[in-house]
Structure 1
């Protein structure tokens, strides 16, 4: 365990355990560092490292990427790295670490900040005009195996200024709630400032009109499943909460085919979704081939067959009860 500061409070975090939740390319674990290919770029060389232990003025969890495309992603701390790996905002990752580890108990100079009670105000949708400045350049995701038709149906756009794919997040009523920007040069992403946090949303829920849907982590994976002919939704990260569960329960979905990433974080998410949704919907577990990290990698390498094969081999999980209506799979 190592001490890092989160919201000005010292927290004892198992840095190595957190990093081992994710698949790394060409990793080498030493006593005090993880060396690997950069998670922020399509990189095959060990040009990235994370400190597992503090070193001088550098706390555990600090990292450096020698081949970074820009200075913002050349170095940083543990929270920034985990927020990328978990596909969350910085604040959501802070909350995860605080909920998991709490404050350090052996420090005498902690200044505890008492919780503030506040009324939760209803979050407002974003104006549709927020998307008006973007174009319909589908080139990047076409190179990832996702057709213009699937992108257009999902409202995918392109930000020429930042060279990023623009992915709208809508609520069940089709109102714009958030926007994700995903660069085409690397893997970096960010969300529209002031939008509804994705932890309070389910990507693709507005189009979940069928009784069966694939559930995955990221938007591009959801679009990959749609390319293969399935209805698909995404939770936007490696965590599933009660708000998202309630959104799905209120939808027409009666069966979830869980198809998360092939890493420890994805496996935990599988178990979490199955546990929370048991008794509310029928659950099946689908796995893309283990040589791939996620659905999009499988789609790019072997095409739609790889995803259909995963669904054909999916495992039905026993449930206490399901909605008494017939089940069907399809887009």
Structure 2
């Protein structure tokens, strides 16, 4: 089996050295080159034909976002962004994902061996996943968004809550789904694997873009039509019931399935307080299997379930796992999920 060819693009010699050492410690990833700025990288891409690029956001001569935009327009290929874990850097990272980057990872801040080992392991996993990801030219994605007619509903007689789980590729999949929902959409709760400082920026970005209210989770938010609640990064999204209404709980408990927020934690909490017959569960693109087993529990308890199909997923990991467990009623292309959500939310 051939190794995954990686090109490292970062203006810091220290970071380039660190990333090379991480990849050199594996048996399946080969660093074919490094570049200190995008202009050098442009020539190396032509010469070396890498399978995956790791790209810094802030660099001299041409910033990483401009380079990424050009790359995805002219020669789309898998890119993992290596960014700084700060609130200031979150919008740029989310913009990179919108442009077509497969995933991102935050540079380690501390010098502890445990944190570095966790970073190294996560980085290699992301590169492996990126090498198998479906990457399309920017024009293809944007043309789909601009030509779609946005659904406008007049009847908001919803019987069910929509619960969405996602990971790799999920921020853009979520945006795609919300772009086709009306202002009075069904009540929606989302657990997307995301770092703590990024979730507020994601919610704000989506709230500014679409007609419904999009909020980062905090304690005691009511789950109600016209509102989308996104789990805080680094916190599970759970719920409590008061009469017929559900309210959010932000939980700082241990990770589940190696994740926090965990899709499983959200699904199981909803099952406990609302019951399956009040729910529609949706699994979007993402690596791994978080939420698959819990989705089967929801399905067996009467929830209506759907998952993004393989062809439209960046990484068909979580949807595939749920499908193979028998937890999924339907596999649906990303562009069809919004209309199905509205339809199923009205079913008793």
TM-score, normalised to structure 1's length?
A: 0.37
Q: Which has the higher helix share?
A: 2
- Length-normalised TM-score, structure 2: 0.36
